[in-house]
Amino acid sequence: MSARTKARKRALDVLYSADLRQQPLPQALAVAAERAVNEPAREASWLYAREILDGIVDHQDEIDEQIETYAQGWTLARMPAVDRAILRIGVWELLFNDEVPDGVAISEAVEAATVLSTDDSAGFVNGLLAKIAQSQPKKKAQ
């Protein structure tokens, strides 16, 4: 598993935990950052996880708006918590991280949904993120 895949999983864990506990994301992020200080062996994955989480904190309204716009008949509240977390990471990578190609962001999100969520989640995540990617101006070639 690549360092970025591990980082996405760490970010997913923080998002999911904050959601279930109804804890503000900045507060959950602070707790995770404090814990990360004591885990130097996992520093590489924490750096990108922190970038993802900071990005979601900074752009959560835009990210959630994109998800609800393209979810057709699904509100964020109706989605499984793990799907919300996966989608927020995927949308952040699509919209705000030019270093990650759209196909990689979508593929990573679909894989996470396949492993961690319902039987229908992978298709839902794939379709929603693909629509969002298609609606955006093209990223510069990597």
Asked whether the predicted pLDDT for residue 141 surpasses 50, the reply is: no
At residue 43, the pLDDT reads 73
The answer to whether residues 61 and 25 touch, using CB atoms and an 8 Å cutoff, is no
| 58: in domain | yes
At residue 139, the pLDDT reads 55
Percent of the chain with pLDDT strictly greater than 90: 79
Q: Which residues contact 142 (CB under 8 A, 6 or more apart)?
A: 99, 101
Rounded CA-CA distance 4/47 in Å is 9
Residue-number span of the structural domain to which 31 is assigned: 3-135
| 141: in domain | no
Split into its structural domains, the chain has a count of 1
Q: Taking the model in full, what pTM does it have?
A: 0.92
| 142: in domain | no
Side-chain-side CA neighbours of 91 within 13 Å: the count stands at 28
Which of 98, 105, 88 shows the shortest CA–CA distance to 5? 105
At residue 40, the pLDDT reads 76
| 83: in domain | yes
At residue 136, the pLDDT reads 84
What's the pLDDT tens digit per position in 18-52? 999 999 999 999 999 888 888 877 777 788 999 99
What's the pLDDT tens digit per position in 94-125? 999 999 999 999 999 999 999 999 999 999 99
| 62: in domain | yes
At residue 2, the pLDDT reads 84
| 128: in domain | yes
The CATH number that applies at residue 122 is 1.10.940.10
DSSP string, 19-51: HHHT--HHHHHHHHHHHHHT-GGGHHHHHHHHH
Rounded (to 5) percent helix, strand, coil in the chain: 80, 0, 20
